[in-house]
């Protein structure tokens, strides 16, 4: 019998991409995963899960650009995985992350069947980095917007991940919210904190430490706008919504960097079979790969024998011996994200560079949850005392 645990697998079936974003940290190659290769990888993942008594698998399909493999490939992949998982009584959920550029109506059936009629995509506003080779970010925006409209016309729900940049900070949270929610009609948005993926002199490097105070203010302003306007209209902005759920004692889908240790819950596998902590590591930091699953008899052997993975596992232990143990939000964070830490400090054994931002957000959403609970009680009391309620 399986336990209640879940594994999240970030699967990169292709390392090719049709875009050339200046901040991209992926080392893009022409590698693609064959269905036969997929069968081998999935069988090893499921075998590992059965051994660890993990009951459900969430597969995040990413690239490169995931849609550069044809929809028929996904049809076959979904079937293959479904059969193998059913044989081990493991539940599987598929989620697709795409830049949408290759989307066309031929995708509709598989998106409905396999991905619950939902696609996750990236959208920065204003766009400084997302572009096609030799073309401008503005050109990319036009293409992306067209694809967004087409997908929506087919009934597909598009959720976006957005990475604030210097221009985002310059326009401020109000304008950002207005564009995404009011103008584009998006209601499921995830804000990610940026980290430098390229070399130090790379023009595509995202905002750095100098902007952390502004970024913190942007997050706080956006959270306040969402609390005031978006929440009641059904708009969800991660991670604010998850934090509000958490502090309101509701089940909360917190991001991977808030939890006891992402290493226990998540792995990434690329088209060549390389296994690493997540997509941020698997192509761009070869020294931190855990191994190659095509070259290992079992995933358990690969993971248990990996010195790199041990470093990830031990990270919270190091941090708990230092500042994090005294943090009032330790239950939420445990030191934050290894890749963000590594990108800023060059080693894993430091606290997340966004520690101050996290704490400020935790406090803000904790206060908001308390305030909303108080309002609810006050509202009920007022209703009981109103003469109208006496007539009811």
Partner 1 sequence: MTAGIVYRVPATRLAGWSGEPVIVRVDDVAGLATVCVDPPAGLVHLEMPLSPQTAGELAGWRGGAPIDFRLADPANDYPLLYACSPLVDYAPVRITIPVVEGFGRAVRLAVSLQLPVRLQIGQPGPEPIDELAEVLSRFLHGSTVAVPVEPFQGVLNALLRGEPFSLWAIAEDDPALFREVDALGEERLPVRLGGARLAASGEDQAGAVAARFAGDGECRACPFAKGCLGYFKWPDPGYSCAGIREVLDRLSAAADELRADLAAFDELAAGDR
Binding site for partner 1 (CB under 8 A): 3-5, 51-53, 247, 249, 260-261, 264, 300, 304, 313, 316-318, 320-321, 325, 328-332, 334, 366, 377, 380-381, 383-384
Per-residue x/- track, 251-290, ligand SF4 (CB under 6 A): -----xx----x---x----------xx-x----------
Task: Name the residue among 7, 3, 218 with its Cα closest to residue 124.
Answer: 218
Q: How many residues does the chain have?
A: 392
Assess 337 for contact with ligand SF4 (CB under 6 A). yes
Q: What distances in angstroms separate CA 318 from CA 255, 324, 335, 354, 366, one per listed residue? A: 21, 9, 9, 18, 27
Binding of ligand SF4 at residue 21 (CB under 6 A)? yes
Q: Select the binding partner of residue 305 from ligand SF4, partner 1, none (C-beta < 5 to 8 A, by kind).
A: none
Instruction: Answer yes or no: are the C-beta atoms of 12 and 280 closer than 8 Å.
Output: no
Residue from 12, 44, 54, 63 touching ligand SF4 (CB under 6 A): that is: 63
Stretch that binds ligand SF4, among 178-186, 202-210, 230-238, 329-337 (CB under 6 A): 329-337
Kindly list the distances between the CA atom of residue 387 and the CA atoms of 152, 293, 376, 378, 382, in Å, as whole numbers in the listed order.
47, 70, 19, 16, 10
CB-wise, 142 or 297, nearer to ligand SF4? 142
- Strand order of the β-sheet with 5-12 is 91-96, 54-61, 5-12, 266-270, 274-276, 291-292
Of 109, 41, 35, 43, nearest to 71 (Cα)? 109
Residue whose pair of structure tokens reads 């493991």 in the numeric block: 90
Question: In the complex, what is the shortest distance from the CB of residue 49 to partner 1, in angstroms, rounded to a whole number?
Answer: 11
Q: Establish how many alpha carbons lie within 13 A of residue 38's alpha carbon, considering only the half-sphere containing its beta carbon.
A: 24
| Helices marked H in 127-239 | 137-153, 166-177, 212-225
355 contacts ligand SF4 (rule: CB under 6 A) = yes
The residue count for binding ligand SF4 (CB under 6 A) is 34
The smaller minimum CB distance to ligand SF4, of residues 90 and 339, is found at: 339
| Least distance between ligand SF4 and beta carbon 179 (Å) | 20
Contact call for residue 164 and ligand SF4 (CB under 6 A) = no
Among 11, 12, 17, 186, binds ligand SF4 (CB under 6 A): 17
Nearer to partner 1, 352 or 366 (CB): 366
Q: Which is nearer to partner 1, 209 or 304 (CB)?
A: 304
How would DSSP label each residue in 41-100?
Answer: HHHHHHHHHHHTTEEEEEEEE-SS-GGGS-HHHHHHHHHHHHHHHHHTT-EEEEEEB--S
The footprint of ligand SF4 (CB under 6 A) covers 17, 19-21, 24, 26, 63-65, 99, 256-257, 262, 266, 277-278, 280, 323-324, 327, 329-330, 333-339, 351-352, 355, 358-359
């Amino acid at each position: 019998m399986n336990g209640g645990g879940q594994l999240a697998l970030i699967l990169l079936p292709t390392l090719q991409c049709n875009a050339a974003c200046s901040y991209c940290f992926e080392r893009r190659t022409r590698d693609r995963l064959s269905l036969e290769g997929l069968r081998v990888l999935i069988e090893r993942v499921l075998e590992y899960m059965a051994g660890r008594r993990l009951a459900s698998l969430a597969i995040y399909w990413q690239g490169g650009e995931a849609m550069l493999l044809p929809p028929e490939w996904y049809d076959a992949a979904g079937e293959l995985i479904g059969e193998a998982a059913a044989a081990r009584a493991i539940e599987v959920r598929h989620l697709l992350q795409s830049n949408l550029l290759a989307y066309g109506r031929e995708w509709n059936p598989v998106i409905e069947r396999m991905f619950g009629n939902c696609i996750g995509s990236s959208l920065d506003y204003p766009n400084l980095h997302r572009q096609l080779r030799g073309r401008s970010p503005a050109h990319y925006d036009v293409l992306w917007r067209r694809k967004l409209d087409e997908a929506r016309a087919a009934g597909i729900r598009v959720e976006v991940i957005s990475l604030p940049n210097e221009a985002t900070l310059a326009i401020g949270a109000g304008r950002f919210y207005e564009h995404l929610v009011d103008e584009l009609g998006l209601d499921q948005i995830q804000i990610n904190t940026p980290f430098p993926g390229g070399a130090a002199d790379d023009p595509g490097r995202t905002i750095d430490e100098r902007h952390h105070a502004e970024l913190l203010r942007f997050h706080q302003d956006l959270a306040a706008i969402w609390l005031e306007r978006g929440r009641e209209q059904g708009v969800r902005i991660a991670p604010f919504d998850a934090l509000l759920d958490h502090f309101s004692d509701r089940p909360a889908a917190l991001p991977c960097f808030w939890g006891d240790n992402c290493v226990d819950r998540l792995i990434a596998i690329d088209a060549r079979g390389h296994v690493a902590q997540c997509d941020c590591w698997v192509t761009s930091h070869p020294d931190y790969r855990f191994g190659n699953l095509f070259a290992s008899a079992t995933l358990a052997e690969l993971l248990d024998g990996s010195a790199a993975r041990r470093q990830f596992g031990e990270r919270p232990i190091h941090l708990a011996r230092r500042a994090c143990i005294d943090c009032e939000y330790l239950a939420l964070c445990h030191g934050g994200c290894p890749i963000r830490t590594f990108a800023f400090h060059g080693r894993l054994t430091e606290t997340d560079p966004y520690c101050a931002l996290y704490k400020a957000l935790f406090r803000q959403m904790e206060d908001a949850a308390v305030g909303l609970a108080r309002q609810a009680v006050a509202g009920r009391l007022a209703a009981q005392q109103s003469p109208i309620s006496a007539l009811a």
